[in-house]
Chain A
Amino acid sequence: MQQQQSAPPLLQVEGLRKWYPLGGGWFGKPAQSVKAVDGVSFEIRRGEVLSLVGESGSGKSTIGRAILNLDPPTAGEVHFDGEPLVGLTRRQMRPLRRAMQMVFQDPYSSLNPKHTVEELLSAPLEIHMPELTVQERRNRIDAVLKTVGLNPAHRSRYPHEFSGGQRQRIGIARALMTEPQLLVADEPVSSLDVSVQAQVINLLLELKQRLGLTMLFISHDLAVVGHISDRIAVMYLGRLVEIGDADSLLNNPRHPYTRALMAAVPNIDPRQRRPRELLKGDIPSPLSPPSGCAFRTRCPHAQSACASGVPELRLVERNHATACIRDDI
């Protein structure tokens, strides 16, 4: 534990912003910007799983893409293993990509249907480890397929010959080919059946333990997140509203939005049906976010003070911070 504390974090994100300009301004100057991510800071220690939770439109996927420089951030700093990433060209990013890989949500559209499993899995090796011989490459593919629970004999099959859960295993296998240190998993289980979802979550947990993977896990479902995270960060409209150790955050949620997300998880016992605590309406448009605390328009505890000034994250316990001005709820 102490060693963990002293070692520098694998990923450090500082004041990350991603604004998308909208047209309509004079001479290329945008009239308005969509502030998809607006000042987010966090770090992930080695071997840790940090989950980003929030509804659609909260900016959680944008963060995942900005960290990997797939969508370069508008402002802010990202340090991976101590090296700054923001401002690097594609060419400069390339050697780093080997160490940071992504698993996408939809295993149907993220695998090229015209490539066999072997072709899909050897592509990252051709780019990042061209020194490998054909035989070494094949051995590696077989080993990774076994790791994710697929039969190496199926390496010449095409994606359509697999079920959704198996396809997601292929997506994970592809991300593992280059032995990455950081895995960004963007809703990797939300398009899967519940029974298969459990298989994939368990696989990710096993990989974390066996390979010491560090993970950013993006999801909208707190029940799923609870099973996989060491720490949890909750996002609302481009900002973090709560971040903390998973136990502390789930046992003692401090932000009303976190509580609402927890209340929305269906209760599996039909004898304990109770009136639902519903969150009113949808997430507001990021084009015109409410003043002050962005959540106040849906918050059951909003006061007039919530409209003035965006609340900053403040520590409420050790390793647990919330961006709500009220302490009495």
Chain B
Amino acid sequence: MDMNLYEPIHIPQAPTAAEAENILDVRGLNVSFRTAAGTVHAVRDVSFSVRRGETLALVGETSSGKSVTSLGLLGLTPPAPYCTITGSARLMARDGNSYELVGSPERVMRRVRGGVASVIFQEPMTSLNPVHTVGAQICESLRIHLGMSARAATDRAAELLNQVGISDPKRRLTNYPHELSGGMRQRVMIAMAIACEPSLLIADEPTTALDVTIQAQILELLEKLQSQTKMAMIYITHNLGTVAEIADRVMVMYAGRIVEQADVVPLFTQPQHPYSRGLIHSVPRLHSNRARKTPLFAIPGNVPDPAAHPPGCTFGPRCGHFEPGRCDAAVPDLENAKPSHLVRCVRWQEIEGAV
């Protein structure tokens, strides 16, 4: 199982020109919450884009701002003045229309959510309504967004269940969520999310609550659906293991900011930010005997309190390369380390190759 990290074996293919158009363009997104303890800046100056048929993984620990980024884009955060969103985010629909997601009225956002962009959440039991059948829940968005009749919606819902790999779909439509296993519920969530053929799918920790065997099934399903529909996907997770399996590009977030962004292979083979390296090394692997006996690599400490960030680089207090006077002087800029490889670290050139 040992592998040489520096020997190229198989490189995921770059998207073709036809696929290379941007479905989502986010520029300077900021999300802040007003709380009793003061204003909390959950997302700061985040810019990225996702192309048709591409999977962008958004990686970070709890409170890194990865989920708030996606909730903010879809207008699922609390209303103003409790939550303030600034910046811009343009989303392309399949029909060629484009929508500005920041600051749009609820009327527009309602058309976007479920129709142009959908989201799957971590916990399929709490995101499905326990008092409605699976069929009723899938049909709802078909009838609202596509104006289907009840009968047509039911037929389409059965087709969708079939598409996400649920056998005997007609009977399953009459089931309630509690009658399904965790993996099946997540398949139903995915069927609901793709019902209106969105151009963007946001998957927020879709496999975290599932067994590893079911996780592999769900990753396979998401990949299959994406290659069929060419939708853009934002895959949010704290586990870099699954990122290596599914992503085309990776964006690592820490304390609300992007700290590194690159294509998946360079990110794993030449990570530039010490935080990305820590995340990669802390994934437990099925190892050879000798490596199993050594302790796992762990990033020391905890994520900072969002209301009281340390000065300068927010990762400084947990970083093995921290240099007083430089790292805590100012927030480092997001620099181009290589073409299309961004890193936010003042010392990235000095510490390249170090762990």
Does chain A have a CB within 8 A of B40? no
Does chain A have a CB within 8 A of B11? yes
Closest to A282 in B: B181
Does chain A have a CB within 8 A of B279? yes
A278 touches B216 (CB 8 A): yes
A226 touches B287 (CB 8 A): yes
B245 touches A226 (CB 8 A): no
B216 touches A264 (CB 8 A): yes
Q: Which of A251, A262, A271 is within 8 Å of B11, CB to CB? A: A271
A198 touches B297 (CB 8 A): yes
A55 touches B10 (CB 8 A): no
With a cutoff of 8 Å between Cβ atoms, the chain A residues found around residue B214 in the complex are 55, 282
Does chain A have a CB within 8 A of B311? no
With a cutoff of 8 Å between Cβ atoms, the chain A residues found around residue B264 in the complex are 270
Binds B, one of A6-14, A39-47, A132-140, A215-223: A215-223
With a cutoff of 8 Å between Cβ atoms, the chain B residues found around residue A4 in the complex are none
B211 touches A268 (CB 8 A): no
Chain B's nearest CB lies how many Å from the CB of A250?
7
B283 touches A220 (CB 8 A): no
Closest to B275 in A: A195
Chain B interface size, under 10 / 10 to 19 / 20 to 34 / 35 or more: 35 or more
B282 touches A195 (CB 8 A): yes
A269 touches B296 (CB 8 A): no
Give bound CA distance, A199 to B298, whole Å: 5
Residues 226-270 (chain B) with a chain A CB within 8 angstroms = 238-242, 244-245, 247, 264-265, 268-269
With a cutoff of 8 Å between Cβ atoms, the chain A residues found around residue B300 in the complex are 199
Does chain A have a CB within 8 A of B61? yes
With a cutoff of 8 Å between Cβ atoms, the chain B residues found around residue A199 in the complex are 298-300
Chain A's nearest CB lies how many Å from the CB of B152?
30
Binds B, one of A92-100, A158-166, A172-180, A299-307: A158-166
15 contacts between A and B (CB under 8 A): A195-B278, A195-B299, A198-B282, A198-B297, A226-B284, A250-B286, A266-B216, A266-B241, A268-B285, A270-B12, A271-B11, A273-B10, A279-B217, A282-B184, A283-B181
Q: Which residues of A contact B (CB under 8 A)?
A: 55-56, 163-166, 193-199, 201-202, 205-206, 220-224, 226-227, 246-247, 250-251, 260-273, 276, 278-279, 282-283
